């Protein structure tokens, strides 16, 4: 009996070890699947962030007009009670003359989000709260798809004119540009949304250089399109990029990322502008812009602005040293006027060769990055 008990005990122990082994293998497999899934998700988010960066620049390009026209076609229709409620002050003949004509949305109090909600409240006794909200949103989108857009906030006409006049006289800022800075359209709204999503994707996961690239792309798009909503996003993104750089002492990576983001955005914007100037369709411009942006992203991937700058600095120092040595050798035989002319010539040659080296260096690095 004792031997049978020993056999049963041994079999039970062996079975327990087998189950433990199977369980261990299962846990390892589950861990690998979890890690692989996380890596795949991170990779997908990174690729999505890159595509969004390119799309960000395209929304700021000449394609924004096509986007506004698409929105206008989607929401067009006869004026509703909500459209008329938002335009009530402008439609009042006693107030119309002091509301800026076609710029009246900035001054009439009915076209900011809060102003539109107040103006549309209760205008139709038959509509529910949901119908009222939908009617107000549609009326806002109708106006957002037009060249004048919608105001961020309502201005007093005299105050606006005073500030705009001061900015124009002191800094040469046109009044129309100041108006653009205080309004947004459907394309601006989409651009800001893309910017927010891009920043969210890279907030914690992107390294300093990648996030600086995102911030630079958002900032350049905001400046080119005069998008006030996107400017807010760009300030937040730039602050986050600087915070990442300062906490890890990665200011070189910050500069590299900003340079790459600006280069990618600039390439996309230039491509869309060129293809648009020859009369290409919006679809063709979109494809060309995306392709150019992806190629620019790849070309600048291995570019380091810091390394290029260091190379130029070293070569310029060599050129300056050689020029000074040549000047010292000729100093004895040259007259005073000759020395001045030689100095100016030497300085000009230094700047010329430095600029040439910089251009060649950047070109070679970009070509190498694209070829790789």
Q: Is residue 14 part of a domain?
A: no
Report the range of poorest mean pLDDT among 183-187, 268-272, 337-341: 337-341
Q: Is residue 247 part of a domain?
A: no
- Better pLDDT: 9 or 319: 319
Q: Is residue 71 part of a domain?
A: yes
CA quadruple 13, 14, 19, 21: dihedral positive or negative?
positive
Strongest mean pLDDT among 116-120, 208-212, 268-272, 310-314: 116-120
Q: Is residue 289 part of a domain?
A: no
Q: With 60 as the cut, is the pLDDT of residue 249 above it?
A: yes
Six-digit token pair at 48?
A: 């999505």
| pLDDT averaged over every residue in the chain | 78
Q: Which residue in the block uniquely carries the two structure tokens 């909200």?
A: 133
Tens of pLDDT, residue by residue over 123-162, are 988 899 999 999 999 999 999 999 899 999 999 999 999 9
Tens of pLDDT, residue by residue over 103-121, are 999 999 999 999 999 999 9
Please give the pLDDT value at position 154: 94
How crowded is the C-beta side of 362, counted as CA atoms within 13 Å?
12
Q: With 80 as the cut, is the pLDDT of residue 307 above it?
A: no
- Better pLDDT: 312 or 263: 263
Q: Which domain holds residue 114?
A: 66-184
Please give the pLDDT value at position 161: 94
- Separation of first and last alpha carbons in the chain: 76
Question: What pTM did the predictor assign?
Answer: 0.68
Which of 168, 184, 200 is the last residue in one of the domains?
A: 184
How many structural domains comprise the chain?
Answer: 2
Q: Is residue 323 part of a domain?
A: yes
Q: Is residue 331 part of a domain?
A: yes
Please give the pLDDT value at position 274: 84
Q: Is residue 72 part of a domain?
A: yes
List of residues 6+ apart from 161 with CB closer than 8 A: none
Contacts of residues 202-208 at CB distance under 8 Å and 24 or more positions apart, as own/partner, are: 202/49, 203/240, 205/42, 205/45, 205/46, 206/46, 206/49, 207/244, 207/250, 207/253, 208/241, 208/244, 208/245, 208/248, 208/250, 208/253, 208/254, 208/257
Are 54 and 264 in contact by the 8 Å Cβ rule? The answer is yes
Which of 159, 184, 209 is the last residue in one of the domains?
A: 184
What is the rounded CA–CA span in Å between residue 38 and residue 20?
A: 27
Which of 153, 184, 215 is the last residue in one of the domains?
A: 184
What is the rounded CA–CA span in Å between residue 298 and residue 213?
A: 13
Q: How many residues does the chain have?
A: 372
Are 270 and 295 in contact by the 8 Å Cβ rule? The answer is no
Q: Is residue 267 part of a domain?
A: no
Please give the pLDDT value at position 264: 85
Q: Give 184's strand partners.
A: 150
Tens of pLDDT, residue by residue over 41-96, are 655 656 666 666 666 667 777 778 888 898 999 999 899 999 999 999 999 888 88
List, in sequence order, the alpha helices (H) in the chain.
2-59, 63-75, 81-86, 88-91, 93-96, 113-120, 129-144, 157-171, 175-181, 186-202, 208-225, 228-248, 251-277, 282-299, 305-330, 336-371
């Amino acid at each position: 009996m004792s031997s049978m008990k020993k056999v049963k005990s041994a079999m039970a122990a062996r079975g327990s070890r087998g189950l433990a082994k199977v369980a261990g293998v299962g846990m390892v497999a589950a861990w690998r699947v979890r890690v692989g899934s996380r890596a795949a998700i991170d990779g997908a988010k990174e690729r999505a962030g890159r595509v969004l960066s390119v799309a960000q620049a395209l929304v700021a390009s000449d394609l924004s007009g096509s986007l506004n026209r698409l929105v206008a076609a989607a929401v067009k229709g006869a004026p509703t009670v909500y459209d008329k409620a938002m335009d009530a002050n402008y439609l009042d003949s006693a107030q119309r003359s002091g509301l800026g004509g076609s710029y009246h949305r900035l001054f009439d109090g009915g076209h900011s989000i809060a102003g539109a909600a107040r103006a549309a409240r209760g205008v139709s006794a038959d509509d529910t709260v949901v119908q009222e909200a939908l009617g107000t949103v549609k009326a806002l989108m109708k106006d957002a798809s037009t060249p004048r857009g919608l105001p961020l906030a309502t201005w007093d006409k005299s105050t606006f004119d005073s500030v705009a006049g001061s900015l124009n006289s002191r800094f040469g800022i046109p009044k129309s540009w100041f108006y653009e800075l205080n309004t947004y359209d459907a394309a601006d709204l989409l651009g800001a949304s893309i910017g927010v999503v891009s920043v969210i994707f890279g907030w914690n996961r992107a390294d300093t250089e990648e996030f600086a690239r995102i911030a630079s792309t958002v900032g350049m798009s905001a400046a080119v399109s005069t998008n006030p909503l996107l400017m807010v996003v760009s300030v937040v993104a730039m602050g986050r990029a600087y915070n990442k750089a300062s906490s890890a002492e990665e200011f070189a990576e910050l500069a590299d990322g900003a340079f790459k983001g600006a280069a990618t955005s600039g390439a996309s914007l230039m491509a869309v502008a060129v293809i648009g100037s020859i009369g290409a369709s919006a679809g063709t411009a979109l494809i060309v812009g995306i392709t150019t942006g992806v190629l620019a992203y790849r070309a600048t991937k291995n570019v380091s602005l810091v390394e290029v700058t260091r190379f130029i600095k070293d070569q310029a120092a060599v050129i300056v040293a050689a020029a000074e040595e040549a000047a010292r050798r000729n100093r004895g035989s040259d007259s005073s006027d000759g020395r001045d002319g030689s100095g100016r010539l030497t300085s000009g040659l230094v700047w010329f060769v430095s600029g040439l080296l910089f251009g060649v260096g950047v070109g070679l690095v970009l070509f190498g990055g694209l070829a790789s």
